[in-house]
Amino acid sequence: MMRFSVWAASCAALMLSPALEAKPLYDATITRTTFGVPHIEARDWRSVGYGVAYAYAEDNLCLLAEEFMTVAGERSQYFGPDAKAVLGFQEVDNLSSDLFFRAVIDLPALRDGAARKARESRLLTEGYVAGYNRYLRDIGPDGVPAECRGKGWVRPITFDDMLRLTEKQMLLAGSLALAPALANAAPPGAPEAGTAAAKAAALPRPDEPGMGSNGWAFGSETTTDGRGLLIGNPHFPWKGPNRLWQMHIIGPDGYDAMGVGLPGFSIPAMGFNRDIAWTHTVTAARHYTLWQLTLDPADPTRYMLDGQSVAMEPRVITVPMPEGAAPVTRTLYRTRFGPVVAAPQNGLLWTAASAFTVGDANSGNQRGIETWLAIGKASSVREIKAAVSQTLGIPWVNTIAADRGGHALIADVTAVPNVSAAKIAACSTPLTRQLAQLAPLLDGARSECAWDVAAGTPEPGLMPASDQAATLRRDYLTNSNDSYWLANARIPHPPLSPILGRHAAELTVRTRSNFTETEALIAQGKVDHARAKALVFANKSYAADLTVKPMLALCARLPEPRRGCDALAGWDRRFEADSRGAALFRAFWARAAHIPGLWAVPFDPADPIATPREPDTAGAGDKLLFALDQAVAELDAANIPLDAEWGSIHNWPAGDERIPVHGGPGTAGVLNFQDSRPAPGGGLMPVHGSSYIQIVGFDAAGPIAEAILSYSQSTNPASPHYADQTRAYAAKAWHRLPFSKAEIAAAAISKPKRIAE
């Protein structure tokens, strides 16, 4: 507390300076409109960051303060080493989290990189630091929300804190998921090698629900007005540090963009301006590679490279513990390829003979803000394509965009290691095929197996945009997290490096649902806002369309009726709040989808949308019925009626209120994806899924944007914007976003607030 008070007093003294009063270094105006969406107007980039940080802290101070503590590697000190942190989309013990951030984040390198960044990016970061600290000063210790009031980790921040947070966001869908494997890697014989965390470390499974999303860009050939139309439907967590937050920035040089960003973002990462709209979906590309090291028989901390023994670089990491407990010290190791990892669950063991190391293309990637700035300034999708191609700053997402000229773009162009199919084949090890679905594994005994260096890339070892997938069309382009190879049902992309995703491989059920519904939509007529809304919130289950009718036919042949069969017969095959039987199908499909030999018609790469299909009720009938019986037993054990309305058990707690939530599992082919978990007190609650949903078109005056943020702007239960948009989402009540100054003034819910210093 003393540190906070001294810092606040010193800043208060600076505020009294006549020079600063005459010409503030930071100066922003915040106007809040419906649902508390802030419109930040500032004359320079430093002031933009200042205003955004202040507004974000008003809504989510505790969340952001905890993030700064997390990336500083201080969770064990405040919460204990065994409690859990959310890293990316997995829970990790605090000690592993702290070790990861203290080992992986290289502050000297990040500071050097920041000094070389574009001036606009640096000014945004400087402003963000000042705006966050200004808000802390304004509210004082007693004004901190109850959830984190009096906590030692709620403190003023520095530029270094922002560097750490930005690095974490860049690694979010990459090596961050390997945190336990990196934090607990130890040579044979080391005491920490036998810990429970070390034994449990594993690489993330590609079929686990992680960050997802759907995105559509419709061009002039398919829209009613001949202009572009975009649907953005990113799937992000409802709780924790990866929630999206809405903002509108009216900045210098004509910058005027609205959308959403993650904690610490000073500008929209998804959104729109007067002429373009864009969204992102998590790409199927892998942004890191693994290398298998051949170790020196005399020392497991030395590896053989081109026949020479090379010492690993030891890094002694010390993690502070709660008061009274001694700090924990570990020695972690790095190689020329990156840090050593150990994932026993995947066979990545550190033995006397071999070890494994990881390299992430987004390590040190400070080009993201530069890229999003360029996108926000763009007036056409071609300019967006140029921005993502030149900077290679987009970390782990496809870019999908439409413009008022009627052009559609999808660019699966990211910071990805430059390894070709030929290199993967030439540098394979006996484990390469086994790990192919997780990440490319290369031979670390040969320096030639490092990433290839191509001319013209912003960092050595990145794959040039010319070797990645980018497509422009005037009909439509879409993605639901599958590979680059199919973005339009009519135009499969030629094969590229396997690191970018599988080619001509079976699509997920959600992707098949996307193409089926999109093609049907276009066949019925041109697309406008109303039809786009219906597409996003139809809540149909493609898996149900494939399986329920054959299941009912199977049920009809049974000698005695089954309760599960009756419940399926009464279900509308949707995940609407009032759908009865959806909970049963969710439990059934979680089992049935993995039955070997489920489909009578196998996958055909020449017909990827319609195959596989037709459940083999003859060969797999008993297994299907067993899966249904297990689902019935699961619901019975949870005291959930088989014909319960979906919204009565699937809802969001807001105090004493339970808000029914529509949407369902993406694995069941529901486009409005909601991944759910058991809720305290019974039932289910969404934990991950549809978040900021936007539909953007254009008229002569500017953008026409309708949107909703499913989990609302604020994580503070005392805020009026804690659940207001959640209620709107539950009612499928879209919000027309004000964009022009006149629209903002008309929709303002309070007087504009000017902050300056």
645-665 pLDDT tens trace: 999 999 999 999 999 999 999
How far apart, in whole angstroms, are the C-alpha atoms of residue 673 and residue 651? 14
b/e per residue 279-310 (b: at least 16 CB within 10 A): bbbbbbbbbbbbbbbbbbeeebbbbbbeeeee
| Mean pLDDT of all residues in 129-143 | 98
| Mean pLDDT of all residues in 613-638 | 97
Give the CA distances from residue 103 to residues 180, 288, 333, 340, 739, in Å, rounded to whole numbers and listed in that order: 12, 17, 9, 11, 43
State yes or no: pLDDT of 5 exceeds 70: no
**What pLDDT sits at residue 196?**
84
State yes or no: pLDDT of 1 exceeds 90: no
**What pLDDT sits at residue 262?**
96
Answer yes or no: are the C-beta atoms of 683 and 650 closer than 8 Å: yes
621-637 vs 582-592: helix crossing angle, rounded to 10: 130
**What pLDDT sits at residue 18?**
42
How far apart, in whole angstroms, are the C-alpha atoms of residue 311 and residue 292? 15
State yes or no: pLDDT of 34 exceeds 70: yes
Strands 703-709 and 27-33 come out as unpaired
Tallying the residues shown for the chain, one arrives at 757
Closest CA to 440 of 458, 463, 459: 463
**What pLDDT sits at residue 495?**
98
Residue 30 belongs to some domain of the structure: no
Strands (E), 143-244: 214-218, 229-233, 235-237
Residue 707 belongs to some domain of the structure: no
**For all residues of the chain together, what is the average pLDDT?**
94
Domain that holds residue 442: 199-208+288-360+420-452
Environment class of 328 (CB within 10 Å of its CB; exposed 0-12, middle 13-18, buried 19+): middle
**What pLDDT sits at residue 13?**
43
Same domain, 430 and 546: no
Environment class of 344 (CB within 10 Å of its CB; exposed 0-12, middle 13-18, buried 19+): middle
| Mean pLDDT of all residues in 582-603 | 97
Q: Which residue has the higher pLDDT, 333 or 14?
A: 333
How far apart, in whole angstroms, are the C-alpha atoms of residue 468 and residue 717? 44
Alpha carbon 451 to its chain centroid, in Å, reads: 26
Residue 574 belongs to some domain of the structure: yes
How far apart, in whole angstroms, are the C-alpha atoms of residue 257 and residue 277? 9
Residue 17: pLDDT band (50, 70, 90) is very low
3-state secondary structure of 419: coil
Residue 614 belongs to some domain of the structure: yes
How far apart, in whole angstroms, are the C-alpha atoms of residue 547 and residue 668? 10
How far apart, in whole angstroms, are the C-alpha atoms of residue 755 and residue 753? 6
Same domain, 442 and 559: no
Same domain, 308 and 441: yes
**What pLDDT sits at residue 211?**
60
**What pLDDT sits at residue 206?**
61
**What pLDDT sits at residue 638?**
95
State yes or no: pLDDT of 438 exceeds 90: no
For residue 348, what is the domain's CATH number? Answer: 2.30.120.10
Report the Cα–Cα distance between both ends of the chain, in Å, rounded: 23
15-19, 485-489, 647-651, 748-752 — which is least confidently predicted?
15-19
Closest CA to 243 of 713, 607, 649, 587: 713
Same domain, 562 and 448: no
Task: Write the DSSP assignment of 380-449 as a string of letters.
Answer: SHHHHHHHHHHH----SEEEEEEETTS-EEEEE--S-B---HHHHHHT--TTTTTTTTT--EEETT-GGG
Domain end among 599, 631, 660: 660
Strands 37-42 and 245-250 come out as parallel
Same domain, 548 and 432: no
| Mean pLDDT of all residues in 96-116 | 94
Same domain, 445 and 586: no
| Mean pLDDT of all residues in 343-364 | 95
Residue 561: pLDDT band (50, 70, 90) is confident
Phi, psi of 120 (to 5 degrees): -60, -45
State yes or no: pLDDT of 16 exceeds 50: no
Domain end among 628, 660, 692: 660
How far apart, in whole angstroms, are the C-alpha atoms of residue 702 and residue 700? 6
How far apart, in whole angstroms, are the C-alpha atoms of residue 60 and residue 601? 50
Residue 433 belongs to some domain of the structure: yes
Same domain, 580 and 434: no
Residue 415 belongs to some domain of the structure: no
Helical (H) or strand (E) element with 394: none
How far apart, in whole angstroms, are the C-alpha atoms of residue 74 and residue 99? 9
Same domain, 448 and 546: no
**What pLDDT sits at residue 199?**
83
| Mean pLDDT of all residues in 503-507 | 96
Same domain, 558 and 437: no
pLDDT in tens, 700-749: 999 999 999 999 999 999 999 999 999 999 999 999 999 999 999 999 99
Residue 619 belongs to some domain of the structure: yes
pLDDT in tens, 280-326: 999 999 999 999 999 999 999 999 999 999 999 999 999 999 988 99
**What pLDDT sits at residue 210?**
54
Q: How many domains does the chain have?
A: 2
Percent of the chain with pLDDT over 70: 96
Closest CA to 483 of 503, 463, 466: 503
State yes or no: pLDDT of 117 exceeds 60: yes
Phi, psi of 669 (to 5 degrees): 80, 30
Residue 390: pLDDT band (50, 70, 90) is very high
Same domain, 426 and 297: yes
DSSP 170: H
Percentage helix, strand, coil for the chain under 3-state DSSP, each rounded to 5: 35, 25, 40
For residue 554, what is the domain's CATH number? Answer: 1.10.1400.10
Same domain, 425 and 568: no
Residue 337 belongs to some domain of the structure: yes
pLDDT in tens, 245-278: 999 999 999 999 999 999 999 999 999 999 999 9
Same domain, 440 and 546: no
Catalytic residues: 213
State yes or no: pLDDT of 9 exceeds 70: no
Answer yes or no: are the C-beta atoms of 439 and 479 closer than 8 Å: no
Domain end among 660, 682, 701: 660
pLDDT in tens, 166-180: 999 999 888 898 999
pLDDT in tens, 189-247: 998 887 888 888 887 766 544 567 999 999 999 999 999 999 999 999 999 999 999 99
How far apart, in whole angstroms, are the C-alpha atoms of residue 515 and residue 479? 9
